[in-house]
């Protein structure tokens, strides 16, 4: 799986295929040199994708960055669909960008695909290509960085080692538990070919949450892979799952199965703690006082304290919803205390773990997702302290500010303040939401500003997570959570990214 391959320039040359696709006169191809059969043959050192998507993936891989948007736009004009572009984008990323040594950095080309898709689906029809085209351009940047570092490309799986249907699950669990990369690669290929999607991701939910390495990127990759595959189809799963299994085994030093480290301790402790939760734990009452109590522990306590408090509240008849309210608001509060890379990942990893909790059909897995997220928030706070001052800001004490009553003018006022005084912008959000039945106009404006001014994969990852998650909080908390999001959203005074003009020209 982990070999390298020289990338060749992609040229399309099949006149008959073009005619079948309604491409019309192909005389312009005479200006290009012909492509030999040998040149067009697949490289045996590179994993091959399904034949219907391979040509589009190769287009993304081989087209120079300064021409890619125009080439993809031309394909769209000739009938290439949104789903096909999304599938090619994900598969080009997993085939060409190594998810190690840390599941992040250049690998955001893969991690951001689902975030771009979520932004597209939540946008008006006329805006839906913008996030995808941004992600296409970002892929080329990450691909270039990977070439500079080691030019990694996913190799074919060792077919002789791929287990059959009866043995694949057991082999995969054994390999992942032992952090055995080679065995996991073969086993996950067997799983992808023989097991159902839900069965596979029930396993991955757990392995994505089992350790606090890469500041939550492992859980994020699991959730984003599952969600994108639901859109593009399970037929594309095998290379995605191979990349995912490889990423989840990232660790430092000796094999974690043979030692105790801080990153692994919460999971091992919570495996036992989960058994102490009473059977009717999903039938509790929503309790705002319990949410405040939990928030206090997330601020001041250790990861052990947070998990113990979670069990205590659930066994006292408090709803899991009230614990999730505290966890999501605790992540948002940390962003208010120290805006930056650590806190925004507290938000995005909480989004991923909450999704896994919601998507899982296994009671034990759901307990573990809740407990692990409760453990992660104090660990994020600890990591933030290592980067500097963490201000004493309380999300439950945030006060409404002054904002005009007119909805359109209020939204303009809020995002102007985002660029100059984020705390004031947060107060204006609270005041605005107190007057409005829904935050639709606020959220629509936030997305458009990310399209116009977003420069980093985290702009898409964060905005998609925060703007999605606010609906999963209880009334009274969701408004405060949404107010906290302005600490990493874009404001009207921020510099434009210039990419929109290029996209407009390409699609025009």
HEC string of 24-50? CCCHHHHHCCCCCHHHHCCCCCCCCCC
Beta-carbon contacts of residue 107 (< 8 Å; ≥ 6 apart): 93, 97, 98, 99, 142, 217, 247
**Using one digit for the tens of pLDDT, what is the confidence trace for 1-17?**
544 443 333 323 333 33
Retrieve residue 77's tokens.
């004009």
Domain range summary for the chain, segments of one domain joined by +? 15-149, 159-252, 265-395, 398-487
- C-alpha pair distances (Å), 271 with each of 175, 268, 276, 371, 416: 19, 5, 10, 9, 47
pTM exceeding the 0.75 threshold for the entire prediction: yes
Retrieve residue 441's tokens.
């106009």
pLDDT at 24: 35
Retrieve residue 172's tokens.
């995969």
**Using one digit for the tens of pLDDT, what is the confidence trace for 20-59?**
333 333 343 344 344 444 444 456 778 889 999 999 999 9
**Using one digit for the tens of pLDDT, what is the confidence trace for 93-142?**
999 999 987 776 678 889 999 999 999 998 888 888 999 999 999 999 99
Nearest Cα to Cα of residue 12 among 58, 50, 45:
58
pLDDT at 33: 42
Report the alpha-carbon distance of residue 163 to residue 166 in Å, rounded: 8
pLDDT at 98: 92
When the pLDDT of each residue in the chain is averaged and rounded to a whole number, the result is 90
Counting as low any pLDDT under 70, the low residues of the chain are 1-43, 104-105
pLDDT at 19: 34
- C-alpha pair distances (Å), 259 with each of 245, 262, 310, 467: 21, 10, 27, 39
Alpha carbon 312 to chain centroid, angstroms: 31
Q: Are 286 and 206 in contact (CB under 8 A)?
A: no
Retrieve residue 332's tokens.
């948002």
Q: Are 333 and 295 in contact (CB under 8 A)?
A: yes
Report the alpha-carbon distance of residue 141 to residue 145 in Å, rounded: 6
Nearest Cα to Cα of residue 172 among 155, 157, 154, 152:
157
Report the alpha-carbon distance of residue 399 to residue 383 in Å, rounded: 28
């Amino acid at each position: 799986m982990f070999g390298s391959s020289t990338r060749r320039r992609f040229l399309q040359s099949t006149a008959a295929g073009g005619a079948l696709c309604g491409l019309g006169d192909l005389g312009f191809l005479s200006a290009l040199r012909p492509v030999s059969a040998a040149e067009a043959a697949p490289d045996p050192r590179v994993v091959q994708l399904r034949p219907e998507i391979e040509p589009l993936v190769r287009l993304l891989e081989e087209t120079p960055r300064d021409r890619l948007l125009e080439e993809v736009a031309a394909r769209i004009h000739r009938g290439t669909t949104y789903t096909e572009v999304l599938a090619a984008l994900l598969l080009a990323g997993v085939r060409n960008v190594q998810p190690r040594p840390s599941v992040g950095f250049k690998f955001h080309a893969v991690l951001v695909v689902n975030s771009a898709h979520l932004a597209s689906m939540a946008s008006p029809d006329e805006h839906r290509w913008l996030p995808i085209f941004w992600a296409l351009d970002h892929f080329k940047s990450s691909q270039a960085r990977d070439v500079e570092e080691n030019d990694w490309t996913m190799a074919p799986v060792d077919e002789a080692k791929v287990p059959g249907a009866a043995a694949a699950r057991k082999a995969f669990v054994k390999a992942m538990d032992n952090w055995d990369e080679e065995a996991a690669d073969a086993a996950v290929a067997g799983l992808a070919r023989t097991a159902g999607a839900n069965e596979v991701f029930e396993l991955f939910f757990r392995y994505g949450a089992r350790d606090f390495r890469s500041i939550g990127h492992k859980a994020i990759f699991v959730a984003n892979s599952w969600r994108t595959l639901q859109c593009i189809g399970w037929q594309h799963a095998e290379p995605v799952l191979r990349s995912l299994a490889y990423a989840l085994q990232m660790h430092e030093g000796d094999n974690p199965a043979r030692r105790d480290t801080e990153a692994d301790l919460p999971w091992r402790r919570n495996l036992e703690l989960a058994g102490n939760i009473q059977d009717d734990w999903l039938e509790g009452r929503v309790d705002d006082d319990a949410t405040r109590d939990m928030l206090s522990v997330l601020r001041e306590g250790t990861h052990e304290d947070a998990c113990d408090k979670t069990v205590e509240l659930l066994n006292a008849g408090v709803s899991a919803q009230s614990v999730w309210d505290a966890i999501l608001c605790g992540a948002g509060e940390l962003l208010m205390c120290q805006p930056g890379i650590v806190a925004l990942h507290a938000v995005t990893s909480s989004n991923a773990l909450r999704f896994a909790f919601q998507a899982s059909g296994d009671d034990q897995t759901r307990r573990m997702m809740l407990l692990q997220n409760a453990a992660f928030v104090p660990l994020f706070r600890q990591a933030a302290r290592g980067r500097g001052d963490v201000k004493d800001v309380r999300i439950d004490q945030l006060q409404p500010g002054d904002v005009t009553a007119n909805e359109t003018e209020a939204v303009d006022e809020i995002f102007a303040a985002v660029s100059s005084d984020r705390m004031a912008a947060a107060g204006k959000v609270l005041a605005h939401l107190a007057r409005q039945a829904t935050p639709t106009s606020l959220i629509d404006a936030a997305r458009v500003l990310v399209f116009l001014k977003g420069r980093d994969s985290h702009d898409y990852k964060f905005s998609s997570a925060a703007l999605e998650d606010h609906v999963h909080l209880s009334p009274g908390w969701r408004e405060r959570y949404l107010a906290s999001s302005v600490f990493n959203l874009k404001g009207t005074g921020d510099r434009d990214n210039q990419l929109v003009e290029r996209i407009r020209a390409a699609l025009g």
